Amino acid sequence: MNHIVCKLNTDDKFSISEQNIEIDLTNKDYYHLSFFNKARRLYQFPTFFKKEALDLFYISLIVFFADRKIIRSKSADAWTREITLHIPVLELNKWQENKTRLEEMVSFLSGDIWKFEFREREENETEMKFSAGMEKSKKNFIPDFFCMLSGGLDSYIGAIDLLQESKNIAFISHYGGGKGVKPYQDLVISNLIKEYSLPKELFFTFNAVPIKTKEEIENKISLEDSTRTRSLMFFAHAILLASATDKPIDLYIPENGLISLNIPLTNTRLGSNSTRTTHPYYMSMLQNLMNNLGIAVTLKNPFQFFTKGEMIKNCKNPNFLKGTLANTMSCSHPDNDWKLRKETPSHCGYCLPCVIRRAAIEFAFENDNSYYRIPNFDKGNQAPKELQSYKIGILDYKNNMTNVSFKIQASGPIQNKFNEFEELYKRGMNELMKLLDKYNG
């Protein structure tokens, strides 16, 4: 069992007898955390953040810290970790009541076994400063919606569709330590600002990354790179901001339904690093947790029953999308270009997100002008292997396409609208088939 002790107040003397990792979020040596560096931006909201949302925000940071620091390969099965987090919270009773819900949700998200031990704390100096500052500013920025904006094609389409209806939307972006996503986020934001004449103040970009210790650097110890819990931390930034509107509000998390289901193409891909970011079961658990905590934020994925191709085809501003979609990033490892000493990050062309993107664009527009490093799956060692894996998955689908009931639950239970999910899966696989049938593997 791995224990991590979190501290959020400078006078916190809490300790445990078990061997553990300690993280003090009042100390900047542990985390690159930009949220509270943006006082001027945050002071425009009408009220201070809801305490339960603050707790969830810090919990998400510690979960992500553990996700990066505790290496899967050192576990008994080289994958599943057992992690206990000791976390101080402002609303102790509520978290004690929802402890099991949180543990089940995070365990499902990451595929590990998580335990949470809570203790009570008071507001720290940073929180008291911001509470006073927001009260003094008397600003009253209340957007109609909040929307996640990752820099990817799905969230870009979601933003475009929402902006066709309202321009009073707060967009939330997050970037990590790599250099592959941030340039595309900047391009996406620039394009939206220009097309819809938007003020920059509607866009919030945050950075939250655990820092390597001196020992980790000296001993060349790598961080875990599966990072399945990143989405919780990403969402928690938006949930925290939304809580400062002091009213019920919607948070849009746009993602195509096929990726959302996270169905492995073959059994060999069950242990992959793909995430359950917007899986309907995870989303329902997070929504249930927020409801029980009294956080009045409603999660919405408007594309739950759309394939990526259907999202593109039905976009409410198709000409703008077609002219700018090459400025979005869908690849699962865009940083590889930096490792190869290229000037700018780009799509690999063969990872599953790239393949779904390519199939979708060709489905909607016939031609795809995006740049891909290996579009024909014919270079290096990994691209041909991936193509062969996809081909096996497509063959399996063709042989069993009349019975996909078990397939759509491979990554998590489907609790309702079963027929709709089955039909979505079939349409998504047909998009993939049309692209992959052009290549031999």
* 437 vs 427: CA distance, rounded Å: 15
Tell me, what's the pLDDT at 270?
A: 43
Q: Who contacts 11 (Cβ-Cβ below 8 Å, separation ≥6)?
A: none
- DSSP assignment letter at 334: T
* 240 vs 52: CA distance, rounded Å: 9
> In which residue are the tokens 């920025």 written?
141
Whether residue 201 is predicted with pLDDT greater than 60 in this model: the reply is: yes
Tell me, what's the pLDDT at 70?
A: 96
> What is the C-alpha R_g of the chain?
22
* 376 vs 242: CA distance, rounded Å: 44
Other C-beta atoms lying within 10 Å of the C-beta of residue 400: 11
Residues in the chain: 441
What does pLDDT average to over the chain?
A: 93
* 52 vs 55: CA distance, rounded Å: 5
What pTM, to 2 d.p., does this model score?
Answer: 0.95
Tell me, what's the pLDDT at 269?
A: 52
Q: Who contacts 258 (Cβ-Cβ below 8 Å, separation ≥6)?
A: 307, 308, 356, 424, 425, 428, 429
- DSSP assignment letter at 294: T
Q: What is the DSSP string of 345-408?
A: --B-S-SHHHHHHHHHHHHHHS-----BSSTTS-STTHHHHHHHHHHHHHHHHHHTTT--TTGG
* 170 vs 147: CA distance, rounded Å: 6
The lowest-confidence range among 25-29, 46-50, 204-208 is 25-29
Which of the four pLDDT bands, split at 50, 70 and 90, describes residue 298?
very high
Other C-beta atoms lying within 10 Å of the C-beta of residue 228: 21
Q: Which tens digits make up the pLDDT trace of 57-68? A: 999 999 999 999
Backbone angles phi, psi at 117, to 5 degrees: -120, 120
For residues 42 and 205, the answer to whether their CB atoms sit within 8 Å is no
Whether residue 37 is predicted with pLDDT greater than 60 in this model: the reply is: yes
Q: Which tens digits make up the pLDDT trace of 74-133? A: 999 999 999 999 999 999 999 999 999 999 999 999 999 999 999 999 999 999 999 999
Q: Which amino acid is at 185?
A: Q
- In the predicted model, what is the mean pLDDT of residues 173-180? 78
Q: What is the DSSP string of 36-55?
A: GG-HHHHTTSSSPPPHHHHH
Q: Which tens digits make up the pLDDT trace of 375-424? A: 999 999 999 999 999 999 999 899 887 778 888 998 899 989 999 999 99
Q: Which tens digits make up the pLDDT trace of 225-273? A: 888 999 999 999 999 999 999 999 999 999 999 999 998 876 555 444 4
